Structure 1
Amino acid sequence: MHVLLETDRLTLRAFTEADTDDLLALDNDPAVTRFINGGRPTSREEIRTGPLPRLLHHYPGLGTRGYWAAQERESGAFLGWFAFRPLLEQSPDEVELGYRLRQEAWGRGYATEGSRALIRKGFTSLGVHRVTANTMTVNTASRRVMEKCGLTFLRHYTEDWPDVIEGSEHGDVEYELTRAAWERGVGAERRRGDVQ
């Protein structure tokens, strides 16, 4: 099992085909997929032909995968996944941050903890220059996570999505964090004594 990183409470590891059942359960919770597809159920075949190949994909620009299974470090329980994938497959310059966690993991700081660890790894050892994240305008919980991780609002936009879901009439938002801004923030935290 290839582990990308560990935090105090999380292990982010490479996906395998053995994760199909956990992915199926995750994507069949209507609350989890509310802002993805309106909570529509997903079949095992859809998981095998859609998300799983994407989650197993290796990105040459990063020299690693772009999606990571999130496990609770102590128990090994599957919590969901994090995305940290380059916008251009051959370049680590810009990556998209994302996360999808089981309802049981919500409100416990896992999304923020995993995202911050990925951002740190991206800026310190993967050659990333800019992190971007997108969500529906009405997804306030996800927007809070982005802000806690240091990303700032960049723009509001609308696109024509294949399925109209509740809240999509308000459009989407994009947030960003550059390496320079992150380094300024880390420097300020060190001066305050917030980080080692």
Structure 2
Amino acid sequence: MPFFLETGRLALRPLGEADVDPLLDLDNDPEVMRFINGGRPTTRETVLAESLPRFVHRCPCIGHPGFWAAQDRSTHEFLGWFELKPLDDHSAAEAELGYRLNRSAWGRGYATEGAIALVRKGFTEFGVERVTANTMTANASSRRVMEKAGLSYVRTFFEEWPEPIEGSELGDVEYALTRADWERSAGARGDAHRRGDIP
């Protein structure tokens, strides 16, 4: 299967039915899911009926799905997934950045490496004008990744949670980066190139 994107250490490729088991393992780690659903278990039926169709859906405006499996280029280990999905199927102007990685990949810079590369691809190839990302206010690790990828805090907002989880009372935060601001940050992009984070 051809890779969608490669960085110094990561290879991103389309997700498919062969990924159901690793996706199920990912979504059944309570620490991985702590800020998503409070760590509640996910069933195979949910992955097949809800997650996989969303992951493989091709967005007409970019000609690709908005989600990709991430694997280690050296070991081919499945690390999780990344998202850069247009908010509107028919316009790439605004796209949402996201990521969910196995605990074994935490603290090693993979999330930042993949996020930087996807932001660059969005602005240079997909015609994205604004990248946005959301997480719980309490999710400090995810917020750091957004900041390292160049996104800045926009607002805190509150939504109704069907089943509130620890930290949900603090609300959620939105981060964003515009193409104009990204183009002005040539120094940051140069640092990423030197590190080998982006090709």
Tell me the amino acid that sits aligned with residue 103 of structure 2. Answer: Q
- Trace 1:36-185 onto structure 2 (pairs within 5 A): 36-185=36-185
Deviation at 1:116, TM superposition (A): 0.2
Paired with 1:43 and 1:144, the residues of 2 have a C-alpha distance of: 30
Tell me the amino acid that sits aligned with residue 70 of structure 1. Answer: A
Structure 1 residues 3-48: Cα deviation after superposition (integer angstroms, max 9, x where no partner): 2100000000000101000000000000000000000001111110
Tell me the amino acid that sits aligned with residue 81 of structure 1. Answer: W
Paired with 2:47 and 2:188, the residues of 1 have a C-alpha distance of: 41
What's the counterpart of residue 19 of structure 2?
19
Structure 1 residue runs of 4 or more that deviate by more than 3 Å after TM superposition? 193-196
Tell me the amino acid that sits aligned with residue 140 of structure 1. Answer: A
Tell me the amino acid that sits aligned with residue 105 of structure 2. Answer: A
**1:93 aligned counterpart, secondary structure:** strand
Tell me the amino acid that sits aligned with residue 91 of structure 2. Answer: S
How big is the alpha-carbon RMSD for the aligned residues of Structure 1 and Structure 2? 1.1
- Please list every run of 5 or more consecutive structure 1 residues that lacks an aligned counterpart in the other structure: none
Structure 1 residues 130-155: Cα deviation after superposition (integer angstroms, max 9, x where no partner): 00000000000000000001100000
Paired with 2:105 and 2:162, the residues of 1 have a C-alpha distance of: 29
Deviation at 1:62, TM superposition (A): 1.4
Paired with 2:46 and 2:143, the residues of 1 have a C-alpha distance of: 28
Paired with 1:67 and 1:19, the residues of 2 have a C-alpha distance of: 12
- When normalised by structure 1's length, the TM-score is 0.96
Deviation at 1:2, TM superposition (A): 3.4
Deviation at 1:189, TM superposition (A): 4.4
% identical aligned pairs: 62
Describe the shift of the 1:169–1:127 C-alpha distance in structure 2 as closer, same or farther (beyond 3 A). Answer: same
**1:71 aligned counterpart, secondary structure:** strand
Paired with 2:99 and 2:10, the residues of 1 have a C-alpha distance of: 13
**1:113 aligned counterpart, secondary structure:** helix
Structure 1 residues 79-124: Cα deviation after superposition (integer angstroms, max 9, x where no partner): 0000100011111100000000000000000000000000011111
Work out the number of aligned pairs and report it.
193
Tell me the amino acid that sits aligned with residue 3 of structure 1. Answer: F
Tell me the amino acid that sits aligned with residue 180 of structure 2. Answer: A
Tell me the amino acid that sits aligned with residue 57 of structure 1. Answer: H
Paired with 1:50 and 1:103, the residues of 2 have a C-alpha distance of: 23
Paired with 1:9 and 1:93, the residues of 2 have a C-alpha distance of: 28
